[in-house]
Amino acid sequence: MKTEIILSHTEIEKKVQEIAKDLDREYDQKNPVVIGIMKGALYFLSDLTKEMTIDLQIDIMSLSSYGNSNTSSGVVKIVKDLDIDINQRHVIVLEDIVDTGRTLAYLKKYFLDKNAASVKTISMFKKSGAQDQQVEADLVGFELPNYFLVGYGLDYAQNGRSFKDIHKVLELD
């Protein structure tokens, strides 16, 4: 896979620190549940919660809408559900990237149906000009060009996820 860096890890680190400070202020004394949507949000979940100073709990969910394809199937499936009961809890959902917004729309409804006290959605990245936007994230770290991207949790068929920077995929092998 040939790639080109379009966003540095240093820029990502600064944004994570800003988001952590904002969440510390907003959720002070609320003990939120921070939920990372795997596998893509793993890096964001880890970095963000290490920067936060408030009491919080962490859980993960695994969903599927892409499989090993580079286009979404349009159907969101739960592969691994939560271990923590979120009844009357403040929920912060972390996503790696918002494309169509289908996953966030699904998750917001899912958590509200489970009687969450509140649901805040945060996506580290958003593709600009994405079509069929069903719901916007409450907070987005960076808006990026509508290319296929890898790095900082983003992948192509499970490859490129561990790059520190965000790369635009130029050519697939």
Q: Is 131 left (phi over 0), alpha (psi -120 to 50) or beta?
A: beta
Q: Catalytic one among 22, 47, 81, 99?
A: 99
Alpha-carbon span 25 to 147, nearest angstrom: 34
Alpha-carbon span 116 to 21, nearest angstrom: 23
Q: Is 158 left (phi over 0), alpha (psi -120 to 50) or beta?
A: left
- Picking from 88, 89, 19, the residue whose alpha carbon sits closest to that of residue 57 is 89
99 assigned to active site: yes
Residue 43, SS3? helix
φ, ψ of residue 7 in degrees (nearest 5): -150, 125
Could you give the residue numbers annotated as active site? 99
